[in-house]
Amino acid sequence: MDQEPQAPNPAPEAPEAPAPNPAPAPEEGAAGGGTALLALGVIVVVILAGAFFIFGDKYSGAPKTEADLEQQFDAAEGAAQAEVEAITAVEESTALSSIEADINESDLSELDAELDAIDQEFSI
């Protein structure tokens, strides 16, 4: 019996991993993410432009200088101080006729107009 010497078994090879599938190509009819992003950008620009045209005119006019503001403040302060003094000037008598005279001398007729002016000033 002739036996030939057998070659030792070579080391087993590691099994090959299957090749990964490539990503599918985008379909021609489907909208891409770029289109949605572009549409969103256009909407934001339109909203900002509308807000500018609606609210932009509220802040028009030349800015006032510090001297102008000081002069306006001093005039308003003097007028307010005179009104406060006129309202708070009362007699210290407790007689009913004295109290009625103080109430009748108080001029509060422009109070509603002043409150309306304050409301308009703080409303946006």
pLDDT of residue 43: 93
pLDDT of residue 31: 53
Q: Of 91, 94, 121, 122, nearest to 106 (Cα)?
A: 91
pLDDT at 66: 83
**How would you class 27 by CB atoms within 10 Å of its CB: exposed for 0-12, middle for 13-18, buried for 19 or more?**
exposed
pLDDT in tens, 89-107: 767 778 888 888 878 877 7
Contact 91, 98 (CB under 8 A): yes
Task: Give 26's contacts (C-beta < 8 A, 6+ positions apart).
Answer: 32
Q: DSSP character for 3?
A: -
Q: What is the pTM of this model?
A: 0.28
